[in-house]
Amino acid sequence: MSHRRNTYYSVTVYKQTHVEGLSIRGTLHEIYLKVKQMFKSVFAASAALFASAGAALAGPYVNVETNAGWVGDDYTAATTDLHVGFEGEVGAAGYYVQAGPAIVAVDGQETDTQFSGKAGIGVPVSDALGVYGEMSFLTAEDEDDFGLGGKLGVKYSF
């Protein structure tokens, strides 16, 4: 009989001040469950934002997007998202929330279907400068492989 040792991990997400933060500790499975609950909260908050009287809704949409990768001339994988989403504005900020099936095609392996989603916001700083951010996720057969992503950016228009 083999015994599985619980390995504990720590994930810390800080606000810009690096003083206030959110800390998640536990096994990968516990972190997976906590992050999954956080995403449910984000989607619920987005739905509440959508329903609020002050939000101007641009409307629902369908987004089909493929992200593929190569190393040199060697194709490695592609993920095709088939998402349904909502976008709108609150004040000057624009936001979107989308989710749906994701078809994952890794070179040399069977195609797999998972669930993915993303939420983002963009805020103009001036007429020429804007900042944006996005959080995304992709489920996996093995819950230890639950994928999370994020991006932050600044866009300057001439």
CA distance 42 to 46: 6
Kindly state the average pLDDT of the residues 20-25: 47
The answer for residues whose C-beta is within 8 angstroms of residue 147's C-beta and 6 or more apart is 137, 138, 139, 140
Does residue 91 lie within any of the structural domains?
A: yes
The pTM for the full model equals 0.62
The residue count for the chain: 158
Per-residue pLDDT tens over the stretch 73-98: 999 999 999 999 999 999 999 999 99
Q: Is residue 36 part of a domain?
A: no
Residue 101: inside a domain, yes or no? yes
What are the pLDDT digits (tens) for 29-45? 666 666 666 656 655 65
Overall domain count for the chain: 1
Structural domain contains residue 89: yes
- DSSP string of 51-114, one letter each residue: HSTTPEEEEEEEEEEEEEEEETTEEEEEEEEEEEEEEEEETTEEEEEEEEEEEEEETTS--EEE
- Domain extent, residue 90, equals 41-156
Using the structure block, give the residue that is written with the tokens 């989710």.
Answer: 99
